[in-house]
């Protein structure tokens, strides 16, 4: 049937559209005559290549079969267009839940379901209550022109609906200017009021948990008025799984924000927990867009100017078909999104992965190119909305990185919130390490060049002159400093710098330094396909010479940038300040903050180059790094990290607050009993959170998990598997997964080992009807893989650190965890310095213990859960297991016996 027929009557066309469902064992088909068939993978590939089919997850199917599937009609993409900004698992079962339909059974029922789901989605826009009318037909036409199969179908639907025909950017709400809020009041919380708030948060009829009540009362300490300058009230609070810590600290936070009329920031390390807290607290904030705000870094939010340019590019036919389709889907999402968070918010992560996550992320402001009030979308900007809401919210759900960056960039103490809760506080050390470090590399310098000069080849590469724009017209000092800075920046690496390094054809002092750094690394590092590193001790003559030339060039750039900052600074005269205007003033302030950040990076680079070859500073460690991906160089440069990054964190962030609650299920390091002295367990918490650097010591609180770990879990160390033998390791995973009947999570310390085990396991598990998903193998983001794993209680999932820390799967869907080996820290130059500073072997033990207990903690998420934790490392020392619950026995047994224990226990 022609496109004209599909345009005129999509529902009639749907009745005879063939349907396909692809699995790793082959394909199931429902043809136009209503006949069901099952085909091999080769035959499935031929059928899908020959004709369009209705399908679920076409991109995944195309990669599995190694065929093009752009002509197939993916019901998931249809759902993303018709019901934008709705999160659901990218499976037939997840789609059924979204649409309120019965979940289909695997097999032929799933094929029939796809037709039913597509029909309901095509009919949904015709309902009087349909909410997503803006841009419906115009975006469908754009995507049809890009050969998106659903485009003409949706244009047929649009012809029968009442559409909002306003330009899509005009649909978005605008923020209004408001005076800054007054500072929060000093209040003293009453513990009974906090307990009453906790009772209001709990579901009706919920059991009274004494541990949660004690936790909520202890949290009051972090909200007490400060008694000494630079001395916040800090509470280190360890609460085991099942205590209910989120609502416990939320009760104190909500009570304080209400009485003090100030915001409380709740910071998490993972997006999963950020989303979970938002979902838990939303029911208690009716006006949640005002009182409860999710805040992330600027690079997470859609940039509307980027979006407008991308749409224009697609309409002009210059974009690739797949890019134009993605742009259309992002535009649909933009009109429905809660807050415009494109990376970790309500834009489906599986959809970003389907088209390439970097393509979607390129629509954010990743390079600080914002032009602030000069942008025509400034009053609709998602980032500006989030910042203004945060200033007046009761609760701001942020992440560790945002707090760290705000502390690092803050020009004065007023930029920091006075009360912060750090959930997942065991990751504060890592977050601080990422925030307070410096990297003088090819990519970083090339990024600075793009920020200053713009990009020759990328349409969204706006230089500093575009961001300053008309501000320089009547300001000779500003114009002169800008031109001098742009001229001085031309020595920075331009596009193609990496290829010139490989060809030994570097251009300018920056590329010459990178060439010398790469040569020293290759001369001293152990060869291999992964990242390489070398110390800066006794630098080569070439490195010394090129570093001096680069230092001179960076200082030549620094001076005009400082002059530009001086020209942008607010005038001292009040009348002159008022003459600037509020919007231009905000724009200048934003540019001033960005320039301050960029000059700070240049200062750090200059300090690193100045100290190159000199005696090492005992607070930092420098080294040369060559980053590689699949054996190819991707970046090279000089790194600097604090040996203890919590020291700048305490100085810049903690001291500027009045109260901080740091909480986790694993804060203390529980040493073996024969080694443990008084306060040793808490000393690790002080080190990992920065509390040791504060004037006043932190108060401590702990609450033990109420779960019966001895009765509901088993701990096994397999004694007869050689962890160096990939075939034996794969065999062990196979036997263990089969013994549990699925519901298994396999954790690895290296992606290469994960890939080898996946290849060896897949067919055998498939034959037993146990689906196997794998991070770094399946074209899905970790969040989507976890959702699919959670949905199918007999599936298995392989992953690395991101799954160990970010997975929350209660119930039988996760009943077995297998780790391939003890997660010892990687022996890097940085780790060697920290190991020396923090206790040698005991520091290694502490890091491994925490990773083991974090993995084990995934097993029991509620009182009825049961599970087995298995470690395939017969050499694992017993001292590493002291962090596990005391009443859980550790069995060191052969693989066959371990499988028998698992089968019997589960």
- What is the helix (H) or strand (E) element at residue 387, kind and residue range? helix 382-392
Q: How many CB atoms lie within 10 A of CB 493?
A: 25
Strand partners, 794: none
What per-residue confidence (pLDDT) applies to 876? 95
What per-residue confidence (pLDDT) applies to 7? 45
Helix axes 210-219, 245-260, angle to 10 degrees: 40
Measure the CA–CA gap between 547 and 559, rounded to whole angstroms.
19
Residue among 478, 465, 463 at smallest CA distance from 580: 478
What per-residue confidence (pLDDT) applies to 286? 59
What per-residue confidence (pLDDT) applies to 2? 39
Token pair 């701990």 in the structure block, residue: 715
Identify whether the C-beta of residue 761 lies closer than 8 Å to the C-beta of residue 802: no
What per-residue confidence (pLDDT) applies to 5? 41
What per-residue confidence (pLDDT) applies to 53? 94
Q: Which two tokens stand for residue 242?
A: 């099942």
What is the SS3 assignment for 209?
coil
What per-residue confidence (pLDDT) applies to 413? 47
Measure the CA–CA gap between 574 and 534, rounded to whole angstroms.
54
Q: Which regions of the chain are under pLDDT 50? A: 1-7, 411-413, 459
Strand partners, 37: 29
Give the Å distances, CA to CA, from 720 to 110, 888, 904.
Answer: 43, 22, 20
DSSP H stretches of helix in 356-427: 357-361, 382-392, 400-409
- pTM, whole model, 2 decimals? 0.90
842, HSE (Cβ side, Cα atoms, 13 Å): 13
38, HSE (Cβ side, Cα atoms, 13 Å): 6
Helix axes 541-568, 476-488, angle to 10 degrees: 160
Measure the CA–CA gap between 195 and 686, rounded to whole angstroms.
28
Measure the CA–CA gap between 328 and 518, rounded to whole angstroms.
42
Identify whether the C-beta of residue 392 lies closer than 8 Å to the C-beta of residue 417: no
Measure the CA–CA gap between 79 and 824, rounded to whole angstroms.
44
């Amino acid at each position: 049937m022609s496109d004209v027929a599909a345009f005129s009557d999509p529902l009639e066309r749907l009745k005879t559209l063939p349907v396909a469902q692809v699995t790793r064992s082959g394909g199931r088909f429902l043809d136009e005559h209503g006949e069901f068939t099952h085909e091999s993978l080769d035959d499935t590939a031929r059928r899908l290549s020959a004709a369009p089919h209705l399908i679920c997850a076409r991109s995944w199917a195309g990669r599995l079969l190694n065929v093009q599937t752009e002509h197939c009609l993916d019901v998931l993409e249809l759902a993303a267009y018709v019901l934008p900004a709705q999160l659901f698992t990218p499976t037939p079962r997840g789609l059924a839940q979204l649409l309120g339909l019965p979940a289909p059974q695997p097999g032929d029922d799933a094929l029939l379901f796809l037709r039913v789901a597509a029909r309901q989605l095509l009919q949904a826009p015709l309902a009087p209550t349909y909410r997503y009318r803006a841009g419906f037909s115009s975006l469908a036409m754009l995507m049809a022109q890009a050969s998106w199969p659903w485009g003409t179908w949706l244009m047929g639907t649009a012809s029968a609906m009442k559409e909002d025909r306003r330009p899509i950017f005009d649909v978005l709400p605008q923020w209004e200017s408001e005076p800054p809020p007054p500072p929060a009041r000093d209040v003293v919380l009453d513990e009974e009021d906090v307990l009453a708030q906790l009772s209001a948060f709990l579901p009706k009829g919920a059991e009274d948990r004494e541990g949660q009540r004690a936790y909520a009362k202890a949290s009051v300490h972090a909200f007490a008025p400060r008694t000494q300058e630079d001395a916040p009230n800090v509470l280190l609070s360890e609460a085991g799984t099942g205590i209910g810590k989120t609502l416990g600290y939320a009760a104190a936070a909500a009570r304080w924000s209400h009485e003090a009329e100030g915001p409380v920031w709740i910071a998490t390390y993972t997006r999963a927990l950020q989303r979970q807290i938002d979902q838990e607290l939303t029911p208690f904030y009716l006006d949640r867009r005002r009182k409860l705000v999710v805040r992330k870094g600027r690079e997470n939010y859609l940039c509307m100017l980027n979006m407008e340019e991308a749409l224009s590019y697609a309409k002009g036919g210059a974009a690739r078909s797949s890019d134009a389709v993605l742009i259309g889907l992002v535009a649909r999402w933009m009109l429905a999104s809660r807050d415009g968070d494109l990376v970790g918010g309500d834009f489906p992560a599986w959809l970003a992965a389907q088209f390439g996550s970097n393509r979607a992320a390129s629509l954010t402001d990743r390079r600080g190119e914002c032009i602030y009030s000069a942008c025509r979308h400034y009053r609709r900007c998602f980032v500006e909305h989030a910042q203004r809401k945060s200033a007046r919210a009761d609760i701001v759900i942020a992440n560790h990185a945002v707090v760290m960056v705000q502390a690092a960039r803050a020009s004065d103490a007023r930029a920091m919130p006075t009360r912060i809760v750090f959930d997942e506080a065991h990751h504060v050390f890592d977050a601080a390490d990422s925030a307070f470090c410096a990297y003088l590399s090819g990519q970083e310098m090339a990024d600075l060049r793009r920020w200053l000069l713009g990009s020759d080849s990328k349409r969204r590469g706006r230089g500093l002159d575009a961001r300053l724009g008309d501000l320089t017209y009547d300001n000779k000092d500003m114009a002169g400093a800008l031109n001098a800075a742009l001229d001085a920046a031309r020595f920075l690496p331009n596009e193609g710098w990496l290829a010139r390094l490989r060809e030994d054809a570097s251009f300018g002092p920056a590329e010459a330094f990178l060439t010398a750094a790469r040569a020293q690394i290759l001369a001293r590092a152990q060869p291999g396909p992964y990242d390489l590193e070398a110390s800066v001790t006794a630098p080569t003559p070439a490195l010394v010479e090129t570093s001096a030339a680069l230092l001179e060039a960076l200082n030549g750039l620094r001076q005009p940038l400082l002059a530009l900052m001086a020209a942008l600074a607010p005038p001292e005269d009040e009348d002159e300040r008022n003459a600037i205007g509020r919007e231009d003033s905000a724009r200048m302030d934003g540019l001033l903050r960005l320039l301050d950040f960029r000059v700070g990076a240049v200062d750090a680079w200059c300090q690193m180059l100045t100290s190159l070859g000199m005696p090492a500073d005992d607070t930092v460690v420098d080294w040369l790094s060559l980053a590689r991906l699949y054996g190819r160089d991707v970046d090279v440069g000089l790194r600097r990290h604090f040996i203890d990054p919590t020291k700048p964190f305490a100085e810049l962030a903690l001291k500027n607050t009045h109260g901080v609650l740091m909480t986790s299920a694993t804060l203390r390091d529980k040493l073996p009993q024969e080694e443990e002295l008084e306060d040793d367990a808490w000393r690790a918490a002080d080190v990992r959170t920065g509390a040791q650097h504060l004037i006043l010591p932190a108060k401590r609180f702990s609450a033990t998990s109420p779960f019966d770990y001895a009765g509901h879990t088993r701990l096994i160390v397999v004694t007869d598997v050689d962890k160096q033998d990939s075939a034996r390791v794969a065999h062990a995973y196979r036997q263990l997964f089969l013994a549990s009947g699925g519901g298994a999570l396999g954790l690895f310390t290296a992606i290469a080992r994960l890939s080898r085990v996946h290849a060896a396991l897949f067919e055998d598990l498939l034959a037993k009807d146990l689906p196997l998903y794998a991070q770094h193998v399946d074209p899905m983001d970790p969040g989507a893989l976890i959702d699919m794993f959670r949905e199918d209680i007999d599936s298995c999932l392989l992953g690395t650190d991101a799954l160990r820390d970010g997975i929350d799967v209660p119930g039988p869907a996760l009943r077995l965890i297998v780790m391939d080996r003890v997660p010892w820290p990687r022996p890097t130059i940085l780790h060697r310095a920290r190991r020396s500073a923090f206790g040698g072997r005991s520091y290694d033990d502490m890091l491994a213990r925490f990773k083991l207990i974090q993995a084990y903690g995934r097993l029991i998420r509620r009182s009825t859960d049961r599970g087995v934790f298995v470690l395939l490392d017969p050499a694992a020392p017993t001292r590493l297991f002291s962090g596990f619950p005391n009443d859980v026995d550790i069995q060191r047994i052969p693989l066959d016996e371990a499988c028998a224990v698992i089968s019997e226990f589960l």
